[in-house]
Structure 1
Amino acid sequence: MTAPRKKTRANGEGTIYQRKDGRWEAAGYVLAADSTSKRVRVYGSTRREAADKLAEKIADSNRGVPVATADSTVSDYLTYWLNGVAIHSLRENTHTRYATCVRLHLIPGLGTKKIARLTAKDVRTFLDRLRTTCQCCTQGLDTERKGCCAIGECCQRRLSALTVIYVHSVLKSAIEHAVREDELPRNVARSVKTTAPRPRRFRPLTTAEARKFLDAARTDRLHALYELALRTGLRKGELLGLHWEDLDLTTGTASIRRSLQRTRTGGLTHLPTKTRASERRIALPTECIHSLKERKEQQDEERETAGPAWRDSGLVFTTPTGGPLDPANLTRHFRSFLDRAGLRRIRFHDLRHSTATLLLEQGVDLVVIKELLGHAHLGVTAGVYAHVRLRLQRQAINALGHALGGQDDEPDGPPAAAVVR
């Protein structure tokens, strides 16, 4: 009797076999990030799963798309991840920040190491060095301009704790993708814990300052924008991306659908809102409805003045010729306005913080504030404004102490209902 022939795989399809631990392993040659041919291994709980994973990688390789391998260096893998994976899931500005982080910090610090041999100790040592090393010396920033570091007088320009945490998070995201693709057994970057810095302290406008701000804004061309920012807490990009079609001044509502931002490739571009929760419908205060109607009349006058130079963008807040307002120009205009009004310098984003703070101090529920601001989770709202909640707690405790220390005029009456938010 002739023995059955072994099933053979076609040339280039790789090999598949079952490991001692029960999992199936498939291996084959693919195009690596450094343009060479390297062997890649994938795993699956069944033969079919392992075969499908390998077939997908070989198909990508045949199309000329580099595939990460366990033999890749950290530099090669990060380049592959940025250009082949992250670019499809990140907003353009976020991808640009990731790429800058990889170029300036991760590749110089860890790039030559094999990603499969990267350890938690390597990551911890890298982050510690990042915290303590002068960036002018590391990146040679003073070489051309002959600054202090170039002449032997180090300026000790170190990265902030927030930047170090950001670099760590980018590395974790990249390695996590390798783990999900069964290219690495675990994410060693997650084993390294970084101490979260204290949150940045900000001083939102007090009630008196907010009144002064609104009074001064009435004489400014961007009065309606400033009032809408303070009374609703909309983000800068959401305000600049607001179209007239998004407003219903009859019912007093606004639909927040997009954000105007400047990107490296597209210039001023309309993008989706920051998160899914940021796409929302909000109620407009009466004062904002009046100022927006005035803004409509103002825009009609500007259209007549501009004549043929007018650009009909459909935006609520525009330049005098109808074009979109650049976020950077709005920041400069805002600073000049504060100086002219005699108000202390704050960031434009602090108007949003001021909205939430003033609402909390009026006893508005956190859930309502979360929906108004478009936060994805209630914990974000509660965490950012913890200082206000502490003050409200003290007010509540003092109120309770006053009640417990006073005379009870009606000892037999029912207790009064009190709501503490």
Structure 2
Amino acid sequence: MSLPVMRRVWKDGFLVRPPEIEPPRDSTPRDRFLTKPEARRLLEACETAHVRTFMALAIYTGARKGSILALTWERVHWQTGMIDFQEPNKPLTSKRRAVVPMTQALRGELESARELADGPYVVHWHGKAIPTGLRWSFAKACERAGLTWKPTPHHLKHSVASWFAMDRVPIDQAADWLATDPTTLRRVYRKFDPSYLKSIADGFKL
């Protein structure tokens, strides 16, 4: 029973005192992430163009699934090489959407996708948007890639953050790229960047 319903039950006199529900505790950070070889296998395992385009955008930008599925071609700026995931006229929320540069590999993927474009959306099915996601197609691609575990689209974003940490990309730059609060990224960097606090240890003397 939800909290609003229980409060209504209390107000109607069916409970002696108002309900006290402990809020859920913060979950532990997701430890599992794709290695770069796994990500390459996953990309190559995509059998249909729209799934491959989605996978390429997720792997090379770390964008959220909703941002990728809402991306339109008018926000892919070929001349500047930038991709703007922020939807026009959509209010900004705590889940920011980034403006990121295309990698060379991603540009090639998008050029191929553009040749097959049938409508305004970068990732589409017969010209129409895919609002409900690609759960089945994503799972099948993971199977074909021979992954020994079952990642979700969110694991791709976490994987990019982990790669940035291991590659020692500065936190502020990684936060801007991933449209993620730096505080959140620090939890990732503590685990995956062995040099994150090493400068303190090197200078710590008695």
Pair in the same fold by TM > 0.5: yes
**Matching residue within 126, 129, 141 for 1:337:** 141
Secondary structure of the equivalent of 1:272? Answer: coil
Q: Is the 8 A contact 1:236 1:327 kept in 2?
A: no
Shift of 1:225: 1.8
Instruction: Please state if 1:289 is matched with 2:95.
Output: no
After superposing on structure 2, the runs of 4+ consecutive aligned residues of structure 1 that deviate more than 4 Å are 394-397
Instruction: Please state if 1:347 is matched with 2:157.
Output: no
Instruction: Please state if 1:165 is matched with 2:23.
Output: yes
Shift of 1:282: 1.2
Aligned to 2:162: 357
Shift of 1:274: 6.1
Compared with structure 1, are the counterparts of its residues 334 and 274 closer, same or farther at alpha carbon in structure 2 (3 Å cutoff)?
Answer: farther
Shift of 1:337: 1.2
Secondary structure of the equivalent of 1:275? Answer: coil
Unmatched 5+ residue regions in structure 2? Answer: 12-16
Q: Which has the higher contact order (CA 8 A, sep 6+)?
A: 2
RMSD (CA atoms) = 3.1
Q: Is the 8 A contact 1:252 1:286 kept in 2?
A: no
Instruction: Please state if 1:111 is matched with 2:32.
Output: no
User: With structure 1 as the length reference, what TM-score do the two structures score?
Assistant: 0.42
Q: Distance in 2 between matches of 1:206 and 1:338?
A: 13
Matches within 5 A, 1:123-162: 123=19, 126-127=20-21
Q: Distance in 2 between matches of 1:277 and 1:332?
A: 25
Aligned to 1:393: 194
Compared with structure 1, are the counterparts of its residues 216 and 109 closer, same or farther at alpha carbon in structure 2 (3 Å cutoff)?
Answer: same
Compared with structure 1, are the counterparts of its residues 240 and 254 closer, same or farther at alpha carbon in structure 2 (3 Å cutoff)?
Answer: same
Shift of 1:246: 0.2
Secondary structure of the equivalent of 2:83? Answer: strand
**Matching residue within 227, 236, 242 for 2:65:** 236
Aligned to 2:14: none
Q: Which has the higher strand share?
A: 1
Q: Distance in 2 between matches of 1:389 and 1:352?
A: 17
Structure of greater Rg: 1
Instruction: Please state if 1:318 is matched with 2:104.
Output: no
Q: Distance in 2 between matches of 1:271 and 1:337?
A: 34
**Matching residue within 56, 74, 86 for 1:227:** 56
Identity of aligned residues (%): 22
Q: Distance in 2 between matches of 1:395 and 1:208?
A: 24
User: With structure 2 as the length reference, what TM-score do the two structures score?
Assistant: 0.80
Shift of 1:396: 6.7
Count of residues in Structure 1 that have an aligned counterpart in Structure 2: 197
Secondary structure of the equivalent of 1:254? Answer: strand
Instruction: Please state if 1:199 is matched with 2:38.
Output: no
Instruction: Please state if 1:382 is matched with 2:186.
Output: yes
